[in-house]
Amino acid sequence: MTSPAGSARVPWAAVYGAAAFAVVLWGANPAVTKIAVGGLPGATVGVGRMLLAGLLALPVILLFRLRPPRAAGDWGLLLAAALGGFVGFPLLFSLGMAKTATSHGALINAAIPVFTGLFGLVAARRWPSGRWTAGMALAVAGEALLILGRGDSGGGSGGVGATLAGDLVCMASSACAGLSYVAGSRLSARIGVWPTTFWAIGLGGVLMAPALLWPAVTLPATVPPSAWAAVAYLAVAGSIVGYVAWYWALMTGGVVRVSPMQFAMPVVSLALAVALFADRLTLMLLASAALVLAGIAIARKG
């Protein structure tokens, strides 16, 4: 296999390995978020995870002297990455997961690479290849099969069934994430992965701080330790480690080629939904997962 564009010495295995690592971390997000919103309000989870991530990012910026963007256009990319990935996505996804089933949130997350690929094509001002389009279509067909053939989509041990409102909020969060990935990958190519990631997280934390005045952000009298642990995971693994790996993979391998890897996220998420929330693993789900993985294999070569 040839090396990724713009990084001739980096093997494709490293690019897809980094992308897969991020996908596994993010694939756990629906289940972990469901655990968090089981003990905390959705708004509190969304705001809290980014404030914690921002507090962790600022010392790294100072310690390693990570420089911010200098050009006005780069600041625009940083703002888009921060607003999309570190304000819009965590807040909307937490609110959505509080209103829908774990499996539904996992399936709707599968729309992220669609938005990422589309935003990437718009940014690059080009049409997709036939192979990429075919792969995306196959993966989307797998997701449609999951949704149409899911059967009982009750909340399982999570206690919340699927709702249209929750699904729509989760879908909006997917669009925010796709925008952030494209903006972040383009900025990473200009100032580096580490400055992009940590400045976006830090800026996201600053932008999220006024939300502490939002009446919906409340702290119950009793919060289970599992909820705090879940928020910590979302802040560190979901908001820092995952983004470092993903931005690097997108920057090195290309947004359009690497973004279909995210279609594997619902496979990870559904496995955790089955294990943690008693969702049923049916033959229909397995067939859908096979279509999703096949779509990834085709689209990533396009």
pLDDT string in tens for the chain (302-residue length): 444 444 457 788 899 999 999 999 999 999 999 999 999 999 999 999 999 999 999 999 999 999 999 999 999 999 999 999 999 999 999 999 998 878 778 777 777 877 888 898 888 888 888 888 898 888 888 777 765 654 445 445 444 566 778 888 988 999 999 999 999 989 998 999 899 999 999 999 999 999 999 999 999 999 999 999 999 999 999 989 998 898 899 888 887 788 788 778 878 888 888 788 776 666 776 787 788 778 877 876 66
pTM score, whole prediction: 0.81
Q: What is the pLDDT of residue 135?
A: 86
| In a domain? residue 7 | no
Within the chain, residue ranges assigned H as helices are: 12-27, 29-37, 42-63, 72-83, 89-97, 102-108, 112-124, 130-148, 164-191, 193-208, 225-233, 242-253, 255-258, 265-277, 283-299
Looking at the structure of the chain, the number of domains it has is: 1
Kindly compute the dihedral angle of the four CA atoms of residues 104, 280, 225, 159, in this order, to the nearest 10 degrees: 70
| In a domain? residue 39 | yes
| In a domain? residue 209 | yes
Nearest alpha carbon to residue 258 among 229, 294, 296: 296
| In a domain? residue 155 | yes
| In a domain? residue 114 | yes
| In a domain? residue 5 | no
Contact 90, 49 (CB under 8 A): yes
Structural domain span for residue 54: 12-299
The count of C-alpha atoms lying within 13 angstroms of the C-alpha of 203, restricted to the half-sphere facing its C-beta, is 22
| Structure-token match 């990958």, residue found | 185
Contact 22, 249 (CB under 8 A): yes
Q: How far apart are CA 109 and CA 57, in angstroms?
A: 25
Q: Phi/psi zone of residue 30: left (φ > 0), alpha (ψ -120 to 50 degrees), beta?
A: alpha
Q: What is the pLDDT of residue 2?
A: 45
Q: What is the pLDDT of residue 280?
A: 66
The tokens of 289 are what? 């997962």
| In a domain? residue 1 | no
